[in-house]
Structure 1
Amino acid sequence: MRFWRRFLTILAAALLLALTAGCGGKNTGSMHQPATKPAPKETLKGKVVIFHAGSLTVPLDKMAKEFERLHPGVKIEREASGSRTAARKVTDLHRPCDIVAAADYTVIDDLLYPTYTDHNVLFARNELVIMYTPQSKYAGEINSKNWYKILLRPGVNYGRSDENADPCGYRTLMCWQLAAKYYRDPGLYEKLNRGCPPRNIRPKEVDLISLLETKTLDYVFIYRSVAEQHKLPYVTLPPELNLSDIRYASFYKEAAVRVKGKKPGEMVTYSGKPIVYGVALLKNAPNREAATAFLKFMIDRNQGLRILKECGQPVFDPPLYKGTLPPELKEAALKPAA
């Protein structure tokens, strides 16, 4: 309990600093600084394999291109999936990987630490929104107050990601549970859950975008950064429901979702908390030198963090960390989470 009190205190301070610094949205202006030139004697080479959350696809693509320009001998290979699926590629399938980046830092805590990594770097935030297209049913009518009434109208189709594969999936279920409390409608969670059949559920949240574009779905629950990156309209949710505001952390805890655990047949309970992303360098990273260099790039305020902000995603500056950082990362400007 002492750890979590200390961690939440530091997290609250970091969120407040980020908000007062104007890091809550896009930043394409004065924050941009020239990338550091590569060292005269380039030693980095080979491929770096990253398993990552689908919501990081766009910013990681931009980071990879910039890093490869600085280090021509390195190829960044990225594989997007739900964050829990990304971790299980390491734990269950034993696939070679250098870095895992998750949309929920607790995925790294629960599935990878301490066997596969000895640290967890908390680097970004997000919020839950409802994305749609101009062709969605009642697109001109839906707003932050009536969204649940619109979704429950006959003929409206909405979707989410799989809670066992993707944090956005269990966060959506948490949002619905909190909505039942917030709107004082005890049956609302069951109504929303029944209204989203298995055919409307996908392994990761970005898989839902094509269903919107083909008009298979009218609305999807997704992260705000993804909606902004794809330039699609979205409905913001009250801070009590969007899992972004540290001030409502105690209320978020009132929501809980059961998901598959580490072992076959095991189920674990995830409780609601503010959305925080985590990234870790694996102990057995095949290309440790280049992977460490990329991770440093990723969490540098003038490089990876800048790109994240330009892609509409709030960051922690400086990032926080849990566990024991490897010697190669200790020179990075990180702040302990506890």
Structure 2
Amino acid sequence: MIGKLISSIVLVAGALGANICAAQNNTVSVLYAGSLVNLMERSIGPAFAKATGLRFQGYAAGSNKIANEIKGNLRRGDVFISASPKVNTALMGTANGTHVTWYASFAESPLMIGYNPRSRFASDFKTKRWDQVLQEPGIRIGRTDPKLDPKGAFTVELMTKAAEFYHQPDLVTKTLGAVDNPEQVLPEETLVGRLQSGQLDAGFFYSTETSDLKIPSIHPAPELQVKASYTLTILNDAPNPGGAARFVEFLLSAQGQALLKEHGVDVLKPKISGDGQTIPPSVRAVIDATQ
């Protein structure tokens, strides 16, 4: 009797395990920079699912935050898309867990100053220089954490450049306050929503966000230009490496690149960094075809 019970438990456990494996093989988990929420969830994800029959499962956050979670074994995924090449290096090498051995830069998006068209400061953005408007009393500015998100670091870099360019040594302090100013620093995935709902008057966004969501924006002078450089990689401990490869192939395909362009992203010829020999052959073939 006990033997039959044990056999039944083993059979049930085996069936559950098979179902879990099947579910994993049908799902591709993509961890991506929060600035790509709309692009991934409303465009790339659904199009990928339709083209392949696989299920897209996305997770958005600041690139550094995601990298820290991967490194701390707090989050697993198949594909990692960052807004800065530097983030990948924190996951490379034995000391960092060897989560990443290669990555490819595939797109860019310049940093912009976006504003709410219903804000009482909206008319000022149309008639005054943007740095002057950001210093006006009462304006509510949103940005991301420089420690957790490349966009936050790019924001500080942009304002530092502007301080020198416009000969205003105290510009950074007047507009941003402290680097970690709690009145401004917000999670990347919530920044757009807060601007659109009127909780913010202005904020710092990539062109893919302002273009995609029709956010009025100011493009800084060419001398001040700061860009996100999007990279992708397949994580070494990916639960579904086969599905991950298919996602990367789709993203770099003609259809995937067309969708990127539709959402205001500047598409680049993929540039490989790290150990190219570890790239899956099917992915390497797609990359080589774009050169």
Question: What TM-score range do you get, normalising by the shorter chain?
Answer: 0.7 to 0.9
Cα distance in 1 for residues equivalent to 2:232 and 2:272: 9
Q: Which residue identity lines up with residue 235 of structure 2 in the other structure? A: L
Residues 125/144 of structure 1: CA separation in 2 closer, same or farther (3 Å cut)? farther
CA distance in 1, matches of 2:106, 2:195: 29
| Structure-2 residue corresponding to 1:90 | 70
Residues 1-338 of structure 1: matches in 2 within 5 Å? 45-61=25-41, 62-72=43-53, 74-109=54-89, 111-114=90-93, 115-143=98-126, 146-194=129-177, 197-204=181-188, 206-244=189-227, 275-300=228-253, 302-316=254-268, 318-325=269-276, 326-328=279-281, 329-334=283-288
CA displacement 1:82-114 (0-9 Å, x = unmatched):
0111112211134221111011121112x2123
What are the ranges of 5 or more consecutive residues in structure 1 without an aligned counterpart? 1-43, 245-274
Please provide the CA RMSD for this pair.
2.2
**TM-aligned CA distance change 1:171 to 1:295, over 3 Å:** same
Q: Give the drift of 1:223.
A: 0.7
Alignment TM-score, normalising by the size of structure 2 = 0.83
Counterpart CA distance in 2 for 1:309 and 1:145 is: 30
Distance 1:153 1:327 in 2: 53
Q: Deviations over 1:216-257 (max 9, x none)?
A: 21101111110111112111111222314xxxxxxxxxxxxx
* Per-residue deviation, residues 283-338 of structure 1 (Å, max 9, x unmatched): 111111111111111112x122111001111010x21111123232221234999x
Letter in 1 for 2:103: N
**One-letter identity of the residue aligned with 2:131:** Y
Q: Secondary structure at the match of 2:152?
A: helix
Q: Deviations over 1:190-222 (max 9, x none)?
A: 222228841221121x41222223322110111
Q: Is the 8 A contact 2:176 2:184 kept in 1?
A: no
**Structure 2: distance between partners of 1:144 and 1:106:** 37
> For the Cα contact (< 8 Å) 1:152–1:195, is it kept in 2?
no
Counterparts of 2:271 and 2:289, CA distance in 1: 5
Instruction: Figure out how many residues of one structure are paired with residues of the other and give that number.
Output: 259
Once the two structures are TM-superposed, the CA of residue 59 in structure 1 deviates from its matched residue by: 2.2
The alignment-based identity, stated in percent, is 28
Q: C-alpha distance in 2, partners of 1:67/1:159?
A: 32
Structure-1 separation of matches of 2:193 and 2:40: 20
State the TM-score, normalizing by the size of structure 1.
0.72
* Cα gap change, 1:47 to 1:144, in 2 (>3 Å): farther
Q: Where has structure 1 moved over 6 Å in runs of 4 or more? A: none
Which residue identity does 1:118 align to in structure 2? Answer: T
Assess if the C-alpha contact under 8 Å between 1:320 and 1:335 holds in 2. Answer: no
Structure 1 residue identity aligned to 2:257 = L
